[in-house]
Structure 1
Amino acid sequence: MRRAVAFVGLLGVVAAGISLSIMPSSRSAAASEPRTFLIPASDGYGVADCISSRAECGQIVANAWCESQGFGKAVTFGVAAREDFTGSVTKQSPAQLAEQPLSITCGE
């Protein structure tokens, strides 16, 4: 009786292993198409200085962000256009520009 229960348990483990091995990986599917991320300018890490000024460190920071999200590298980065995150196209004051989120588009 114990052998029969152990055999049924073994078959269950093998079937589960086979079904998991043939499932597609969602990580590779996400990396195949570009994706844009909006990051608050006041995130506390200081990345806004590099990305918004498009300094040399901006490419490094943007690439690191994309890699942490499962993508290869950053395609574009910078300050997000107002219509991209609110649907509004009104004129902004300099104080409001400082609070605009950052935009990083990641791809392969």
Structure 2
Amino acid sequence: MRRAVALVGLVGIIGAGMSLALLPATGTVAAPKAERTYLIPAGDGYGVADCISSKSECGQIVADAWCESQGHHAATAYGVAAREDITGSTPRPANMAQTELPLTITCGG
């Protein structure tokens, strides 16, 4: 009796799995986000400032990873922020040097 119940349960599980596997896709795809530029503190503690500020090969890898983690495609631009990019809307830490500018990463849509 137990084997029969186990067999019926197993067939039910396999049948449910097959029906889910064979269902057609709904065709809905999330719309990509618009292009956006992020300002990141140079001393963020992760050590990405060296790669991004030097425009080296590792900078592209780090910038792409940042964009993907934010839900975007690959980075289109990255580097040290220009003074006019900083609005002063976010407070600057007291221990940040005056010449230490944040980093920018522009992510594609």
TM-score range, shorter chain: 0.5 to 0.7
Q: Which residue of 2 aligns with 1:38?
A: 39
Decide whether the 8 Å contact of 2:32 with 2:72 is kept in 1.
Answer: no
Decide whether the 8 Å contact of 2:52 with 2:103 is kept in 1.
Answer: yes
Q: How far 1:29 sits from its partner (Å)?
A: 4.7
Q: Please say which of residues 78-87 and 40-49 is displaced more in the overlay.
A: 78-87
4+ residue stretches of structure 1 with deviation over 3 A?
A: none
TM-score by length of 1: 0.62
Q: Which residue of 1 aligns with 2:31?
A: 28
Distance 1:96 1:107 in 2: 30
> How many positions carry a matched residue from both structures?
75
CA deviation string 1:60-98 (max 9, x = no partner): 0000000000001000000011111137xxxxxxx633x
- Decide which structure has greater helix share: 1
Match of 1:96 among 95, 98, 104: 98
Name stretches of at least 5 consecutive residues in structure 1 with no aligned partner. 1-20, 88-94
1:73 and 2:53 are equivalent in the alignment: no
Report percent identity of matched pairs.
67
TM-score by length of 2: 0.61
C-alpha RMSD of matched pairs (Å): 2.1
SS in 2 for 1:59: helix
Q: Which residue of 1 aligns with 2:4?
A: none
